[in-house]
Amino acid sequence: MPSPVDKEVRHWFVTGASGGLGRHLTDHALRHGDRVTATVRRPDALDDLREAHGDRLAVEVLDLTRPAEVEEVVRRTIDAGPVDVVVNNAGYVVVGAAEEMTVEQVRDQVEVLLLAPMLITRAFLAPMRAQGGGRIIQVSSMGGQVGVPTHSAYHAGKWGLEGFTESVSREVADFGIHLTLVEPGGTRTGFASAMRFTDETAPYRDNAVGRTRRSLEALDDDALTGDPAKVAAAVYATTRDPNPPLRLPLGADTYDAVHAALTGRLAALESRKEQAGEVAFDR
């Protein structure tokens, strides 16, 4: 059986395809002759693509905060035939101090950004093993490597997704299954307008949380430099790469922010080298 790299026509499963990067990826795959099962929140969100590409596009309505729905949609997709490329793309961010977030806001962030991709990834591993390989694309962000105030729940989901993916990638490499973390920077996907904000509280109004909140409230998608069509093309190319990277940083802002974060963490680690060795048993 040919690998996903070699197959002429492949079957994709893409979450969060109503707009943004998910829609661009769906459109890009369809334009290259592939088939796509796309999940959306609104049943009419992809009517134009369905009209243009016919039965090569299947649309499933899915709420990722409902694990039973996730399992049912994945089962139906697998029953319809082999899936070569899985893209866990759906996501959003709740902006505010950790203390300001409701339990529901925290739970929904973790369910959408981490639990749903974990469940979807696990569900596709066995069929991918049986067919001799597959590609799983986890859409993280530079927020999977960098931490900023107001994004604590978002970072919990994205950092968790990065750790989960790095571990699973080593578990399944022998089966021809490759996982890639895509880390876009600021991209014009409508993400800015889709941000949700906590109710502001007085203690955080004038500190780093308040200042960050104010800048994000004023953020316009047009100020973001990332072209979602180019991001989609780069991700597509990765799925054709016989040796894909574990992490795919996309955007100069991602590169600069992650480089600074990793350099800072390495320096902090090295400064603790002597202390780290002091906890061993005396010989």
Could you read off the pLDDT of 56-74 as tens digits, one per residue?
999 999 999 899 999 999 9
Active site residue 273: no
Could you read off the pLDDT of 221-273 as tens digits, one per residue?
777 777 899 999 999 999 999 999 999 999 999 999 999 999 999 999 999 99
Q: Are 134 and 86 in contact (CB under 8 A)?
A: yes
Active site residue 255: no
pTM as predicted: 0.94
Average pLDDT of the segment spanning 169-182:
98
**pLDDT level of residue 1 (50, 70, 90 thresholds):** low
Per the residue annotation, which of 141, 152, 154, 204 is the catalytic one? 154
Q: Are 139 and 182 in contact (CB under 8 A)?
A: yes
Q: Which domains does the chain possess?
A: 11-276 (3.40.50.720)
Per the residue annotation, which of 18, 141, 152, 158 is the catalytic one? 158
Q: Residues near 38 by Cβ (< 8 Å), separated by ≥ 6?
A: 14, 17, 22, 26, 46, 57, 58, 59, 60
Active site residue 230: no
Sheet holding 134-139, edge to edge: 57-61, 35-40, 11-14, 85-88, 134-139, 177-184, 247-250
Dihedral sign for Cα atoms in the order 261, 262, 267, 271 = positive
